[in-house]
Amino acid sequence: MPASEPQFHYWRTLLWSQWCFTPPHPTTQWTGRTVIVTGANIGLGREAARHFARLGAEKVIIAARNIDAAQKAKASIEISTKCGPSVVECWPLDLCSYDSVKAFATQCGTLKRLDCLLENAGVSKYRFYKTDGALDELQITTNVVSTFLLAFLLLPKLKETALKHNTQPHLTIVTSELHHQATIPERKALRQGVHTTLLDALNDPRTSSRSGRYPTSKLLQVLLLRELTSSLGKDYPVVINCVNPGFCHSALTRDFAPIAYIGKIAMRARSTEVGSRTLVHAASAGRDSFGEYLSNCQVALVSNFVRTSEGREVQEMVWREVLGRLEGIEPGISRNLR
């Protein structure tokens, strides 16, 4: 197969997805269930939360850093779905802060049950940022480390719900088709001996790739999820998957406004409501989605790199490094992966 053929297939599939496919309205009922949607004060997360409320969820938790915006989202959802005032709750969560993630997870311990953790929150920045107190660059902190910190902290609650209520909870991470374009250029720093770990290379402004940072963070999500589900095994009572919502109109691309605007027009970007349908579908998908990457409301192929022997080696390396990072943030967290 010519080297250019996989890329041609990728672009052909992408154009078909954006121009010819419309995700169907979610219909699975969520009566009596509790759902957490991170980053649900705006965009895809807000529209996904709206769907969950419309479909009868007993509790929909909007997890967001901006509580004022979360309250506005709550009011909007209540008006459009006519759900009761006790259905939607707004809880503070700042993925830039490990302490905030841990505090949020502790608060989740008060829930009677947890049927879905939909990790939608993420950031896309062109410039290199590092927040006070964080060990990693902003996009790595938010999209990777804190995302999996929250997932690992809440897996026991999801598993408890599965066993206690004889149901099938979901952990769904919102990733991106851009992982197909990621090459992790920071690996060059390892080959050249500049750094000894990939995280160090990703967190060094001298060796980090600015334009490739967001796709790289999404590739890391895919690799970590595959390794997590491989270690837990197919019989694990929680369905764990990741989903690509497609190219959508959202605030995620605000740092790339001019280029993103042109791209949205050319690619016929989905509205946030249409894109959110894919999130709710993944959060309702069956056991056949365990460990899988979903796109256009079905199981899809991950990138060519992920499926190579080199991709497997990088996957294992990323798993070791990120798990080590999480152990440093919350000692003993590995015991939750049982």
- Please report the beta strands in the chain, taking only residues with DSSP state E, as ranges in sequence order: 34-38, 59-64, 88-92, 116-119, 170-174, 239-244, 293-295, 298-300
**pLDDT value at residue 293:** 98
SS3 content of the chain, % helix, strand, coil (to 5): 50, 10, 35
pLDDT value of residue 204: 87
Distance of CA 177 to the CA centre of its chain: 12
pTM of the model: 0.91
Question: What is the rounded distance in angstroms from the CA atom of residue 226 to the CA atom of residue 291?
Answer: 6
C-alpha span between 280 and 224 (Å, rounded): 21
Q: Which pLDDT belongs to residue 11?
A: 59
Residue 299 CA, chain-centre distance (Å), reads: 16
One-letter amino acid at 328 equals G
Is there a contact between 145 and 136 (Cβ–Cβ < 8 Å)? Answer: yes
How many Cα atoms within 13 Å fall on the side-chain side of residue 179? 30
CA 162, CA 141: separation in Å to the nearest integer? 29
Find tokens 């199981």 and name the residue.
299
Task: Please identify every residue annotated as catalytic.
Answer: 214, 218
d(CA 59, CA 37): 11
Single-letter residue type at 13? T
Q: Which residues pair with 37 in a beta bridge?
A: 62, 118
Q: Quick one: pLDDT at residue 250?
A: 67
Residue 322: is it exposed, middle or buried by C-beta count within 10 angstroms (0-12/13-18/19+)?
Answer: buried
| pLDDT score recorded for residue 191 | 86
What is the CATH number assigned to the segment(s) 16-336?
A: 3.40.50.720
Per-residue pLDDT of the chain (338 residues; tens, 9 = 90+): 334 445 555 656 666 575 667 899 999 999 999 999 999 999 999 999 999 999 999 999 999 999 999 999 999 999 999 999 999 999 999 999 999 999 999 999 999 999 999 999 998 876 777 777 777 889 999 999 999 999 999 999 999 999 999 999 999 999 999 999 898 888 888 888 889 999 999 988 888 776 678 899 999 999 999 999 999 999 999 999 999 998 877 665 555 445 544 445 545 677 899 999 999 999 999 999 999 999 999 999 999 999 999 999 999 999 999 999 999 999 999 999 98
The token duo for 64 is 């967001």
Query: Which residues, other chains included, contact 54 with Cβ-Cβ below 8 Å and sequence gap of 6+?
Result: 80, 81, 83
Please tell me the distance from the alpha carbon of residue 254 to that of residue 259, in angstroms, as a whole number: 10
320: Cβ contacts below 8 Å, ≥ 6 apart: none
Q: In what order do the strands lie in the sheet with 59-64?
A: 88-92, 59-64, 34-38, 116-119, 170-174, 239-244, 293-295, 298-300
How much is the pLDDT for 212? 78
